[in-house]
Chain A
């Protein structure tokens, strides 16, 4: 079933950036520091480059099936039964990521801003946002995401204020590369969860105009590039703000360094940052939940709004079940493994099968 809506390159860019920039950003420097030490930013740059290649892989797969989403072309590649099986796996994966995001947001909000508020209340609040945001069409999602891009820039400007603190020290970045190639490569692995979100291209690409041409990838490649630059910048400022032993005990360095800034009128920039970050993070889970619901509605042939309510119920149940665990850091590892499986491994297998068995969909129509 071909999709009817078409988006252009800049809209693809906004969709991907908004999906990718999310929970990873707050603790990224902490995680890269664990393995790559002060060379974490190099690790981020290398992974950014690696993900450009991954994006190309996804494009090779998607361009064989113009204007078909993953949920449709999986059935062409693997046949009805197996295709549906893969679809179910992807739906479960997408909803797991939404639940994971919910748990992390919940945890951070409760720890940083609302220590007295019951966690479940915040989960319900998120649920309202999720239902309200997802129930629209892909068009409204695109408009919402493009508009909210302003807030990502705003986040960036807030972090610029940290340079007010006269105690930052560029010497923490030196000697460059001294932690060794192996450690930097290990640090690369720590950056993967922050890039989670690229795999939504499997579905969003169906909406892109002229999918066969390479220029259809411009938006996606540029999105990865933008995210890489943003993350590198974040890792660098966290590295120069904190001493090596300090950053190891601060799981959210980005917030923590804002906490120390005191511009005359405002004392707690971290709270402002968090409230804006709340918007950015909402786009992340909206994007996943929207795609999950799309999968459900295709699988069960139900209306989109019913699928949204169904998936939000699933997310709510999962996140309530797990929200009291303190070992959220372990969830991160699982999320990473799932992400690599569903973002790289399965698409690569699908591509292989599609090439071997020459599975391809004909061009249905191309708009003028």
Chain B
């Protein structure tokens, strides 16, 4: 019996899996960044940054890293990566990409077409960040200098730091899928642009999407911050700067500490949504000082609330113009007011929704000085 068990054990060793599915790092060409474009003829163009690890045998295994930009054309995304595979030595492996850049044209088309191959392949990392650029993704990637590319996750870290500052929503390729396939919700993505003046890539704000495609409009960083507060998606820090007119023209910066949002839906001739937002803020920069004066604080609260409310109104006007339901009001209606939803549902339901934002700002702190 003992012997037969041993034989069984040895036999099962031969069945150990893994040998079929091993992927050695030395054989694959991993991608860190990929960009997608669509040309007028409907062909897709993929541009990727591939990182090469060169271990030189002559100088005792010293490693050197080089990056190379490769691109390929095709009828869909999978074909473009096949083309790329043909033009690089080794196996092209898109699995570990951390950032996806969508060119302006491709974003205006159906972006589900781009991401479908991501969702389908179990090996691909769907936690990659997705961003839209104003021009073509190819140009943006080409623009990166060798130095920036060396920091392989250049865009990833840029986007990440903006997320921490509540400037852009924290979304990944996977979460977009949820939004794209939701009839009552739209989404926005980081919007990157090459700055004309200093020729570097910057986060310009957020690109507004409707259904599955880019509307062409983008929100500035300040607008995106405000919208994120309306969504109650405050990240670690949210700093706004406003010019205060009274008593003197000074700039005041504050960091939002706490957000409380109240949402009321009423049905009139349009569906009207009353959104009131109360922000408890801490002043972080105000050279005027004297923040121990009750009258002063009251005055500041009033001025700030007025300014931000005005901004909010402009913001929601912009959203309404492009029918981008980023707050997910459609979902709110489906969930809690199904009878209203039944009346207005359809592709352009946001036309029938009217948002009345109101912001109240409440200074609760001033740091360690007054």
Contact = CB atoms under 8 A, between A and B. Distances in A.
Interface of A: 111-118, 121-122, 124-125, 128, 131-132, 165-167, 169, 171-175, 178, 241-246, 249, 259-260, 262, 267, 270
A245 B8 CA distance: 48
A330 to B, nearest CB: 22
B299 interface: no
Contact of A166 (B233, B334, B338): B233
A278 to B, nearest CB: 11
11 contacts: A113-B122, A115-B122, A117-B18, A121-B17, A125-B17, A131-B8, A165-B175, A167-B178, A173-B335, A174-B335, A246-B178
A363 B332 CA distance: 62
Given A165-B175, A267-B125, A178 B17 contact: no
B175 A260 contact: yes
Interface residues of B, number: 33
B245 to A, nearest CB: 37
Contact of B127 (A111, A115, A267): A267
B172 interface: yes
A169 B331 contact: yes
Contacts of A241: 178
Interface of B: 8, 11-12, 15, 17-18, 20-21, 122-123, 125-127, 170-172, 174-175, 177-179, 181-183, 185, 233, 328, 331-332, 334-336, 338
Residue among B174, B332, B338 with the most chain A CB within 10 A? B174
A117 B18 CA distance: 8
B336 A128 contact: no
Given A171-B332, A175-B336, A260 B17 contact: no
A171 B328 CA distance: 10
Contacts of B125: 267
Residue among B21, B122, B170, B175 with the most chain A CB within 10 A? B122
Given A125-B15, A262-B127, A246 B170 contact: no
The 5 A-B pairs at the shortest CB distance, nearest first, are namely A243-B182, A174-B335, A245-B181, A171-B335, A117-B20
Given A114-B17, A175-B338, A132 B8 contact: yes
Contacts of A116: 20-21
Given A118-B20, A243-B182, A243-B185, 18 more contacts: A112-B122, A116-B21, A117-B20, A121-B17, A122-B17, A128-B12, A128-B15, A132-B8, A167-B175, A172-B335, A175-B334, A175-B335, A175-B338, A244-B182, A249-B181, A260-B172, A262-B127, A267-B127
A160 to B, nearest CB: 18
B182 A171 contact: no
